[in-house]
Structure 1
Amino acid sequence: MTESSGTPVPAADDIGPHEDEPHQQGFNDRLNWLRASVLGANDGIVSVAGIVLGVAGATTDRTAILIAGIAGLVAGAMSMAAGEYVSVSTQRDSEDALLAKERRELREDPEDELAELAGLYVDKGLEPGLALEVAKQLTEKDALAAHAEVELGIDPDDLTSPWNAAIASMLSFTLGALLPLLTILLVPGDLRVAVTVVAVTIALALTGWLSARFGYGSARMAVARNILGGLIAMAVTHGIGQLVGTQV
């Protein structure tokens, strides 16, 4: 079926989002979780790898490496959780304030808000008459959700939880940090540095691929960024450890 302009028109049963494409509903929340988890894992891997390789460059004492690694893991996990909580709480406070303002405007001047919503749809390309009809129908269904989506880019029913983000960051940092810590402790002395670097490189490639896979980005670029940053961090910290170890 086509319109007079020749543009194909789908049947009513075919109307709906494509299952294999990202859409706004739920997508922002998934990206927030992905961002917190991937950043936490990457920070855990790189930070603790840098710490244990730096200490390993200065000493072969397994106890010193263990203490430094555990201290870095705990401090980093707590720092990530606190930072994520503060960041998302600030975002959540702003969203709550904007939604409260929108509720007040809808309560005090619903006609002006309806006209505003219709105007926003006109700006998106709808004809004025159609824009007004769409605005009316969406207002009847859920006025706040309609205005929040178009004006603010917010889903009132899908706000990010600061606690969820903090816990996700802390757990992902811890899991990421355990990889270099356990590797350098379990591998024999002569091989510990080389095996740790290889393990960390593989882990960074995996987290880079996952971030691209679930975020619909370029896997090649994400993997390359992760690996390059991790290798630089490990080389610098290990080199500093060797330099300090020879001087102290």
Structure 2
Amino acid sequence: MEKSAKRSFFKTHFWDRLNVLRAGILGANDGIISVSGIVLGAAGANFNSKTLFITGVSGMLAGACSMAGGEWMSVSTQHDVQEKTLQSDSEKIEQEDLLVPIHAAAASFVSFIIGALIPLVTMCVSSDSWRVINTAIAMVIALSLNATVSTLNTTISTKKTILRNVVIGVLTSIITYLIGSFFHVSVS
């Protein structure tokens, strides 16, 4: 790794911090919605607690890796464009302003897992009769909090962002729960 790459890995600048924040918010949101959908769909299919847990953990790890990989590829492309621009000198971009793909990938990976843990833990600690309702409530609360955080220090409507987040999460969960219920199986 060359010296400037090492320096930019440990020292972040405005655009990189903004990119990491974006990746973190999207990662958490996707973790909450994806794993809620997975475990609620599996609950609708009447999976037992052990199978629900394995399904949720598998979905959490696969989703976190997928999100991190997607961020890595996307930000690497942006970084390459920035480097070409820096080389052509057509625009003034400082070496320190280049985006660092690993920052966005790591933020996305970690935040996906944190977001995914909310519905997964809720599903696992709830009694069989309450796990669907408790998981749906935890998902709505987590999506509302994530939406609120994403609008801090902005002029974006917090209420509108919460509504969007919750509607997408609820629709996802209803669809996956209904599909699971349609295939209602008993796994022992």
* TM-score, scaled relative to structure 2: 0.87
Pick closer, same or farther for the CA change 1:216–1:156 going to 2, 3 Å.
farther
Compute the displacement of 1:246 (Å): 5.8
Q: Is the 8 A contact 1:60 1:189 kept in 2?
A: no
Written as runs of structure 1 = structure 2, the 5 A alignment for 1:92-103 is: 92-102=79-89
Which segments of 5 or more consecutive residues in structure 1 lack a partner in the other structure?
1-25, 106-146, 149-153
Match of 1:32 among 19, 22, 25: 19
Match of 1:49 among 1, 14, 36: 36
Summarize deviations over 1:194-219 as a string: whole Å, max 9, x none: 01100110000000011111454221
**Other-structure match for 1:172:** 111
Compute the displacement of 1:158 (Å): 2.1
Pick closer, same or farther for the CA change 1:214–1:73 going to 2, 3 Å.
farther
Q: What RMSD, in angstroms, separates the aligned Cα atoms of the two structures? A: 1.8
Pick closer, same or farther for the CA change 1:61–1:211 going to 2, 3 Å.
same
Compute the displacement of 1:222 (Å): 1.1
Match of 2:71 among 84, 102, 107: 84
SS in 2 for 1:237: helix
**Other-structure match for 1:5:** none
Compute the displacement of 1:244 (Å): 0.8
Match of 2:147 among 194, 205, 208: 208
Q: Is the 8 A contact 2:24 2:108 kept in 1?
A: yes
Q: Matched residues in 1 for 2:32 and 2:186: separation?
A: 28
Written as runs of structure 1 = structure 2, the 5 A alignment for 1:95-114 is: 95-102=82-89
Runs ≥4 residues deviating over 6 A: none
Pick closer, same or farther for the CA change 1:184–1:244 going to 2, 3 Å.
same
Q: Is the 8 A contact 2:47 2:185 kept in 1?
A: no
**Other-structure match for 1:189:** 128
Alignment of 1:235 onto 2:187: no
SS in 1 for 2:152: helix
Q: Is the 8 A contact 1:52 1:65 kept in 2?
A: yes
Pick closer, same or farther for the CA change 1:220–1:155 going to 2, 3 Å.
farther
Q: Is the 8 A contact 2:65 2:109 kept in 1?
A: yes
Written as runs of structure 1 = structure 2, the 5 A alignment for 1:106-185 is: 147-148=91-92, 154-185=93-124
Alignment of 1:65 onto 2:4: no
Summarize deviations over 1:172-210 as a string: whole Å, max 9, x none: 000000110010010111111001100110000000011
Which segments of 5 or more consecutive residues in structure 2 lack a partner in the other structure?
1-12
Q: Report the more deviating stretch, 31-40 or 83-92.
A: 31-40
* TM-score, scaled relative to structure 1: 0.67
Q: Is the 8 A contact 2:28 2:115 kept in 1?
A: yes
Compute the displacement of 1:30 (Å): 3.4
Compute the displacement of 1:157 (Å): 1.9
**Other-structure match for 1:20:** none
Greater Cα radius of gyration, structure 1 or 2: 1
**Count of residue pairs the alignment pairs up:** 175
